[in-house]
Amino acid sequence: MTAVAAHRALGLTDAEYDGIVEKLGNEPNEVELAMFSLMWSEHCAYKHSKRLLRRLPVEGPHLVMGPGENAGAVDVGDGLAVAFKVESHNHPSAVEPFQGAATGVGGILRDVFAVGARPIAILDSLRFGELDSARSRYLLEHAVAGIGHYGNSIGVATVGGEIMFEGPYEQNCLVNAMCLGIARKDRLIRSAAAGVGNLVVLFGALTGRDGIGGASVLASAELGEDDADKRPTVQIGDPFEEKKLLECSLELLDRGLLASLQDLGAAGLTSSSSEMASKGGVGIDIDVSRVPLREADMEPFEVMVSESQERMLCVVEPERLEEVLAVCDKWDVRATAIGEVTDTRRMRVFDGDELVGDMPVVALVDECPLYDLEPAPPEAPLYPPPPRALSADASPEETLLGLLHSPNLAGKSWAFEQYDTLVGSRTVRRRVEGGRSVQSATADAAVLSLAHDGGTGAIAVSIDGNGRRVACDPYAGAVEAVLECAANLACAGAEPLGLTNCLNFGNPEKPHIAWQLERAVAGLADACRALDVPVVGGNVSLYNEGGGGPIYPTPIVGMVGKLPDPETVPGSAFREEGHVIALVGPFEPYVQGSEWHKLNGELAHGLPQVDLQAHAAALAAVRETVRAGTLASVHDISGGGLACTLAECCIAGGIGASVAWKPSDSDVEAASYPALSRLLLFGEGPGGWVVSGPAEAVDAIVGVSVQRLGEVGGETLEMAASAATLSLSVGDLRNAHERGIPDRFS
Amino acid sequence: MKFGVVRFPGSCDEHDALLACRRFADAEVLWHKDRDLKGVDAVVVPGGFSYGDYLRVGAIARFSPVMEAVTEFALAGRPVLGICNGFQVLCEAGLLPGALLPNTSLRFLCRDVDLVVENADTPFTRACSRGDVLSIPVKHTTGRFYAPEEALDELERQGQVLLRYADGHNPNGSARDIAGVANRQKNVFGLMPHPEHATDPLAGSADGGRIFESLVAHVEELVAA
Sign of CA dihedral A566, A569, A575, A578: positive
Closest by CA position to A589, among listed A671, A661, A680: A680
For B139-155, what is the mean pLDDT?
97
ipTM, interface predicted TM-score of the complex: 0.96
**Residue A725 above 70 pLDDT?**
yes
Cβ contact B10–A332 (<8 Å): no
CA angle A435/A438/A442 to nearest 5° reads 55
Q: Which of A645, A708, A707, A720 is nearest to A676 (CA)?
A: A720
Sign of CA dihedral A441, A443, A446, A448: negative
pTM here is: 0.94
- Give the mutation candidate from A422, A437, A452, A563 for the B interface (greatest B CB count, under 10 A): A422
Q: What is the pLDDT of residue A182?
A: 97
pLDDT at A723: 84
> Is there a contact between A174 and A554 (Cβ–Cβ < 8 Å)?
yes
How confident is the model over A704-731, as a mean pLDDT?
95
d(CA A111, CA A454): 23
Which member of B10, B16, B110 has the closest CB to residue A419?
A: B110
- Note the pLDDT of residue B109: 95
The band of A1, judged by pLDDT with boundaries at 50, 70 and 90, is very low
pLDDT of residue A428: 86
Beta strands A657-661 and A580-584 are unpaired
**What distance in Å separates the CA atoms of residue A499 and residue A485, rounded to the nearest whole number?**
9
Q: How far apart are CA A397 and CA A403, in angstroms?
A: 10
**Other beta carbons within 10 Å of A343:** 10
Of residues A183, A176, A158, A147, the one with CA closest to residue A72: A183
For residue A693, give every residue at least 6 positions away whose Cβ sits within 8 Å of its Cβ, in sequence order, or none. A570, A579, A580, A630, A631, A632, A633
Compute the half-sphere exposure of residue A624: CA atoms within 13 Å on the CB side of its CA.
Answer: 11
8 Å CB contact of A239 and B12: no
C-alpha span between B211 and B214 (Å, rounded):
5
Write out the catalytic residue numbers of A: 43, 89
Beta bridge partners of A537: A500
Contacts of B201 in chain A (CB under 8 A): 439
How far is residue A439 from each of residues A412, A567, A570, measured CA to CA in Å?
Answer: 20, 10, 9
d(CA A667, CA A680): 10
Size of interface A-B (CB pairs under 8 A): 101
Cβ neighbours of A440 in B, within 8 Å: 112, 203-205
Question: Do residues B196 and B24 touch, judged by C-beta distance below 8 A?
Answer: no
User: In this model, does residue A668 exceed pLDDT 60?
Assistant: no
Q: Find the angle CA(A613)-CA(A616)-CA(A621) to the nearest 5 degrees.
A: 125
Q: Which of A92-106, A430-444, A545-559, B166-180 has the lowest mean pLDDT?
A: A430-444
pLDDT of residue A740: 95
Strand partners, A82: A74, A182
Question: Using one digit for the tens of pLDDT, what is the confidence trace for B71-121?
Answer: 999 999 999 999 999 999 999 999 999 999 999 999 999 999 999 999 999
pLDDT over 50 at A436, yes or no? no
If you average pLDDT over residues B29-57, what whole number do you get? 95
Q: Identify which of B13, B16, B204 has the shortest CB distance to residue A437.
A: B204
Instruction: Identify from A423, A428, A433, A447 which residue to disrupt to test chain B contact, counting B C-beta atoms within 10 A and taking the largest count.
Output: A423
Question: Of the residues B14, B32, B84, B169, which is catalytic?
Answer: B84
Mean pLDDT in residue range A612-639:
96
Q: Is 80 exceeded by the pLDDT of residue A440?
A: no
Q: Which residues of A395-415 are buried (b: 16+ CB within 10 A; e: fewer)?
A: ebeebbbbbbbbbbbbbbbbb
**Residue A433 scores a pLDDT above 70:** no
* pLDDT of A86 strictly over 80: yes
pLDDT above 90: residue A664: no
Indicate if the pLDDT at residue A246 is higher than 90.
Answer: yes
Cα B2 to Cα A125, B23, B209: the distances in Å are: 43, 12, 16
| Confidence check: pLDDT of A673 > 70 | no
Q: How confident is the model at residue A439 (pLDDT cuts 50, 70, 90)?
A: very low
Give the residue-averaged pLDDT of A223-237: 69
| Predicted local confidence at residue A636, as pLDDT | 95
Each residue of A156-178: pLDDT tens digit?
999 999 999 999 999 999 999 99
Query: pLDDT category, A9, cuts 50, 70, 90?
Result: confident
Residue A675: which pLDDT band, with cuts at 50, 70 and 90?
Answer: confident
For chain B, list residues whose CB is within 8 angstroms of any CB belonging to chain A.
Answer: 9-13, 15-16, 19-20, 48-49, 51-54, 107-112, 135, 137, 139, 194, 196-197, 200-205
The pLDDT of residue A432 is above 80: no
- Whether B169 is catalytic is no
A648: helix, strand or coil:
helix
Chain A residues within 8 A of B135 when measuring between CB atoms = 436-437
The dihedral through the CA atoms of B139, B141, B142, B146 has a sign that is positive
Phi and psi torsions of A82, nearest 5°: -110, 120
Nearest-neighbour CA in chain B from A507: distance (Å): 37
Q: What is the pLDDT of residue A441?
A: 53
Q: Looking at residues A699-720, what average pLDDT do you find?
A: 96
Determine contact, residues A229/A22, Cβ cutoff 8 Å.
Answer: no
Q: Could you tell me which chain B residue has the CA closest to the CA of A565?
A: B202
In angstroms, rounded to a whole number, what is the distance separating the alpha carbons of residues B177 and A275? 55
Residue-by-residue DSSP string for A102-131? HHHHHHHHHHHHTTTPEEEEEEEEEEES-T
Mean pLDDT of chain A: 92
The Cα angle at residue B33 between residues B69 and A117, in degrees rounded to 5: 130
Q: Is residue A689 very low, low, confident or very high in pLDDT (cuts 50, 70, 90)?
A: very high
Provide the shortest C-alpha distance from residue B94 to chain A (in Å): 25
Cβ atoms A502, A541 nearer than 8 A: yes
The answer to whether the beta carbons of residues A230 and A138 sit under 8 Å apart is no
User: CB B109 to CB A424 under 8 A?
Assistant: no
Quick one: pLDDT at residue A194? Answer: 84
Is residue A143 predicted with pLDDT exceeding 50?
Answer: yes
**Residue A452: which of B19, B53, B204 has the nearest Cβ?**
B19
Does residue A3 have a pLDDT over 90? no
Among chain B residues, the shortest Cα distance to A331 is held by B9
For residue A480, pLDDT over 60 is answered with yes
Contacts of B203 in chain A (CB under 8 A): 422, 425, 427-428, 439-440
- CA of B20: which chain A residue's CA is closest? A425
CA dist B110 and B194 (Å) reads: 10
Would you mind telling me the total number of residues written for chain A in this entry?
A: 746
Tell me the shortest Cα–Cα distance from B208 to chain A, in angstroms.
Answer: 13
- Nearest CA distance, A563 vs chain B (angstrom): 15
CB spacing of B10 vs A420 below 8 angstroms: no
Checking if the pLDDT of A511 tops 90, the result is yes
Is the pLDDT assigned to residue A43 strictly greater than 50? yes
